[in-house]
Amino acid sequence: MVCSADEAVAAFHEIGGRVVVKAQVLSGGRGKAGGVVLADNKVAVEEAAEKILSLEIAGYDVERLLVTEACEITKEIYLSALVDRAAGSIAVMASGEGGIDIEQVAVQSPELIVHRYVDVIAGLPPFAARDIGFKLGLDWPQVREFQIIACKIVQLLTELDASLVEINPLIVDGGGHCRAIDAKIDLDDNAIYRHPELEKFRNPEEYTFEEVEARNAGISYIKLNGNIGCMVNGAGLAMALLDVIKGQGGEPANFLDVGGGADSKQVRTAMNIILSDPSVQVILVNIFGGITRCDEVAQGVIEALGSITRKVDLVVRLVGTNEEEGLYLLKAAGISAHTSMFDAVREAVEIAS
Amino acid sequence: MSIFIDENTKVMVQGITGNQGSFHANLMQQYGTNIVSGVVPGKGGGSVSGVPVFDTVGQAVESTSPDCAVVFVPAAVAADAILEEIACGVSLIVCITEGMPVLDVTRVMQVVNSTNVRLIGPNCPGLISPGRSKVGIMPSQIHLPGPVGVVSRSGTLTYEVVQALTDAGIGQSTCVGIGGDPIIGTSFVETVQMFQEDDETEAIVVIGEIGGEGEEQCADYIGKCVNKPVVGFIAGRSAPAEKRMGHAGAIVSGSTGSAEAKISAFEQVGVSVASIPTDIAKLISEVL
């Protein structure tokens, strides 16, 4: 793993022969984007490294490269273990048409993909892994290697609480051996508490400061490009609010689900996160209390307003559990509230435009 | 008839001494739900709002024979709670808990699928048959008994729609929150099928959102097997791709899960899709 063209050349000298220079970003589709280049001399390695380091792939600046021995490839296989949403289970997927564009293979020629459900408690038995290997057209010596790899990625999926472990491509090299050339792992945020050691792999560039702060507080926050800051309880209602704002000609500044059963402290944190976005001109609070209590929300909103240092308008819609108590608190603080979400959106859009 | 629960359903609350568990056990009781027991390891022998608390589900089942369990325990122990209920023969389990690791849910589902247990959720508001019983966390006062079955992946968005229905004088037979996680115990299709077979339900509201293919499968099922009028809403038309919109299951990923695909799947089978949630009431009044 290197960060500059000079280091890439040094790595080339160490490896010798033919190498492949690969962009290291948290995205697929690197080959198509020009992020994977073969080179067999110093000048070519230097050029490749410089070119790839100047690329942006799927929104990521390329800052690191992998320089590694180029393999002779006689067959490319796609192999993954994944949480199969539709089946409510885990599955192994494999295809003899590996390499790039497995999604396209899945759509255009699903018959080229071997899909096998896995017992989530027992794991993938070796016989099932061998069966997949033979279906991919591998010979017995390769199937022997393949079955170990396939069983291990299922084991890895369950041990890491991952939602995807993918090797693409898994190749058969010139010597007839299976080798994993590239891999990808998706982790489950809900299970990360069991694997604190994996926190360090989070890419800090992927999240804004506010998104990290929100996550730490148990709030779902996604920054968008508008000027209406939104605070909502419940993801579905938060999404619907964005849709209604857009439908009324407004632009939401964010998605924010304050979480089920949020207390006043959480609401205050949410308000502060919304306010930290300088483009927010109006905050639209849309709460339909269920497990969340309106009085807690009102308390949090009032506390956040107390410490506010810039001018921002507030539109509140507050109904549901403990509605009366919440409205009473708001009224005492001089804040009026809507009962209809649509009316609240219209007022917020009017203020913001 | 209502689906899943009625006034005779005996309910056990797993996690009844917790903040949410005790608060909502009390609200459910006030609504008239027959809460017969609670379970919290280490708190056996106590009581909450007059409900006896047991250390284990086995003890609660032996003493109070619940038909249904509602789960309020933290995400880290929710799978264990559900497995304990299944092991003790509880046949309807409603899991309110949010944030369960998805592999825990697959492990639970593997057991659920080998039994006759009905799991609703996780990460759901529960269900209510207005005027009869409530097993969940939804605000009671917005509901009205009547002929419309409501099924949704969301909590608060459902309240929004139900409020609009009630304001328009349209009551509900049962409202079912199936949950916002990628893997859930009971699907749109299974719930819609029960509404189709329920004599009391005359029309069905389906509230979906981006992510997964549950709505598309439901549309397919409606086209083939449902002759009652169905009205829909899909949240997330303005959601950016590849971002999880709060619910673990709400993500547009590659070519699957977009709001457009879901809306078009519904419209192709004659389901009117509202453009704002409250318009559902108007669309329903047109078909009733």
CATH number of residue A224's parent domain: 3.40.50.261
Active site residue ranges of A: 78, 166
pLDDT score at A99 = 65
Q: Domain holding A23: CATH number?
A: 3.30.1490.20
Q: Are residues A106 and A176 in the same domain?
A: yes
* Contact (CB<8Å) B157/A236: yes
- Chain A residues within 8 A of B160 when measuring between CB atoms: 237, 240, 288, 341
Q: Which amino acid is at A223?
A: K
User: What's the sign of the alpha-carbon dihedral A312, A296, A232, B76?
Assistant: positive
- Strands B118-120 and B92-95, sheet pairing: parallel
Question: Of A237, A287, A346, which to mutate for an interface test with B (greatest number of B Cβ within 10 Å)?
Answer: A237
Minimum distance, in Å, between the CA of residue A309 and any CA atom of chain B: 29
B277: closest chain A residue by CA: A240
The partner residues of B204 in beta bridges, in order of sequence, read B149, B230
B141 CB contacts (<8 Å, ≥6 apart)? Answer: none
Q: What are the phi and psi torsion angles at B35 (to 5°)?
A: -85, 115
Residue ranges in chain B modelled with pLDDT below 70: 1
Cβ neighbours around A74 below 10 Å, total: 12
∠ Cα A119 A120 A126 (to 5°): 55
Domain boundary pick from A160, A175, A198: A198
- Whether A90 sits inside 8 A of B106 (CB atoms) is yes
Residues of the domain holding A139 = 73-198
Q: Decide if B212 and A188 are in contact by the 8 Å CB cutoff.
A: no
A174 and A282 inside one domain: no
Residue of B4, B247, B259, B284 marked active site:
B247
CA B287 to chain CA centroid, nearest Å: 24
The beta-carbon neighbor of B213 closest among A86, A194, A252 is A86
Determine if residue B69 is left, alpha or beta; phi over 0 gives left, psi from -120 to 50 gives alpha, anything else beta. beta
CA distance B65 to chain A (A): 27
Nearest C-alpha neighbor of B67 from the set B130, B12, B123: B12
Q: In what order do the strands lie in the sheet with B145-152?
A: B133-136, B126-129, B172-177, B145-152, B203-209, B230-235, B272-273
- ipTM value for the complex: 0.91
Chain B positions touching A189 (Cβ under 8 A) are 248
Least confident segment among A16-30, A318-332, B192-206: A16-30
Q: Please tell me whether residues A108 and A14 are part of one structural domain.
A: no
Clarify whether residues A294 and A230 are in a common domain.
Answer: yes
Task: Report the distance separating Cα A179 and Cα A149, nearest Å.
Answer: 9
Whole-number Å distance between alpha carbons of B14 and B16: 6
A189 and A296 in a common domain = no
Q: What is the DSSP string of A57-117?
A: ETTEE---EEEEEPPPEEEEEEEEEEEETTTTEEEEEEESS-SS-HHHHHHH-GGGEEEEE
Task: Using the Cα atoms of residue A134, residue A137, residue A141 and residue A145 in order, give the sign of their dihedral.
Answer: negative
Residue for token digits 């997964």? B212
Q: Is B154 helix (H, G, I), strand (E, B) or coil?
A: coil
Task: Please tell me whether residue B14 adopts helix, strand or coil conformation.
Answer: strand
What single DSSP character describes residue A308? -
Q: Residues of B62-90 as b/e, b for ≥16 C-beta within 10 angstroms?
A: eebebbbbbbbbebbbbbebbbbbbebeb
pLDDT in the model for residue A260: 78
Which of the 8 DSSP states describes residue B239? P
Q: What is the pLDDT of residues B85-142, one digit of tens each?
A: 999 999 999 999 999 999 999 999 999 999 999 999 999 999 999 999 999 999 999 9
Given a contact cutoff of 8 angstroms between Cβ atoms, the answer to whether B96 and B120 are in contact is no
Determine the average pLDDT of the residues in A191-195. 94
Nearest by Cα to A53 from A25, A82, A18, A16? A25
Look over chain A and give the mean of its residue pLDDT values, rounded to a whole number: 91
Per-residue confidence (pLDDT) for residue A100, from 0 to 100: 61
- Order of strands, sheet of B92-95, starting from the edge strand that comes earlier in the sequence: B47-48, B51-54, B34-39, B10-14, B68-71, B92-95, B118-120
> What's the confidence (pLDDT) of residue B1?
62
Count up the domains in chain A and report the number. 3
**Residue to test with chain B: of A84, A85, A206, most B Cβ within 10 A:** A85
The full DSSP string for B240-286 is PTT---SSTT---BTTBS-HHHHHHHHHHTT-EE-SSTTHHHHHHHH
Considering the domain architecture, whether residues A227 and A193 belong to the same structural domain is answered as no
Nearest Cβ partner for B155 among A224, A234, A243: A234
- Please give the Cα distance from B288 to B274 (Å, whole number): 16
Interface test with A, best of B156, B187, B276 (most A CBs within 10 A): B156
Place of tokens 């020009």: A34
**CA-to-CA distance for A2 and A46, rounded, in angstroms?**
12
Closest CA to B69 of B50, B51, B84: B84
CA distance A55 to chain B (A): 21
CB A45 within 8 A of CB A67: yes
**What are the tens digits of pLDDT across the range A109-148?**
888 899 999 999 999 999 999 999 999 999 999 999 999 9
Same domain, yes or no, for A257 and A178? no
Residues contacting A140, CB < 8 A, separation 6+: none
User: Most distant CA pair in chain B: distance in Å?
Assistant: 56
This prediction has a pTM of: 0.91
Cβ B20–A291 below 8 Å, yes or no? yes
B106/A242 Cβ within 8 A? no
Residue A219 and residue A244 in one domain: yes
Inter-chain contact A220–B240, Cβ cutoff 8 Å?
no
Q: Tell me phi and psi for residue B150, to 5 degrees.
A: -120, 130
CA distance B109 to chain A (A): 7
Question: Using a CB-CB distance cutoff of 8 angstroms, which residues of chain B are in contact with residue A291?
Answer: 20, 24, 96, 125, 137, 155
Q: Give SS3 for B181.
A: coil
Residues of A in contact with B27 (CB under 8 A): 321
Could you count the other beta carbons within 10 Å of the beta carbon of residue B224? 8
Interface touch A237/B113, C-beta < 8 Å: no
- In the block, tokens 């019983």 appear at B133
In chain B the domains, ranked by start, together with CATH numbers, are 10-120 (3.40.50.720), 138-287 (3.40.50.261)
Q: In this complex, do B248 and A121 lie within 8 Å of one another by their Cβ atoms?
A: no
B276/B164 Cα distance (integer angstroms): 11
Task: Mark yes or no for CB contact A290/B155 under 8 Å.
Answer: yes
Count CA atoms within 13 Å of residue B108 on its CB side: 29
Give the closest of A188, A243, A320 to B101, CB-based. A188
Task: At A75, list the tokens.
Answer: 């067959």
Q: Looking at the structure, tell me whether residues A247 and A302 fall in a common domain.
A: yes
Residues A91 and A149 placed together within one structural domain of the fold: yes
Distances (CA, A) of B1 to A154, A204, B129, B266: 45, 53, 9, 27
Q: Which of B77, B114, B151, B238 to mutate to test the interface with A (most CBs of A within 10 A)?
A: B238
Examine the fold and report which residue of A198, A225, A243 is the final residue of a domain before the chain moves on.
A198
Q: Per-residue pLDDT tens for A217-264?
A: 889 999 999 999 999 999 999 999 999 999 999 999 999 999 877 889
Across the interface, which of B182, B240, B276 has its CB nearest the CB of A83? B182
**Residue A69, phi then psi, degrees to nearest 5:** -55, 135
Inter-residue contact B173 to B201 (CB < 8 Å): yes
A221 & A337 share domain: yes
CB B26 within 8 A of CB B125: no
AA identity, residue A25: V
Interface contacts A/B by beta carbons within 8 Å: 178
- CB-CB neighbours of A334 under 10 Å: 8
Question: Which domain CATH number covers A130?
Answer: 3.30.470.20
The closest CB to that of B102, out of A188, A289, A341, belongs to A188
**Does residue A79 share a domain with residue A64?**
no
Domain end position, chosen among A130, A163, A198: A198
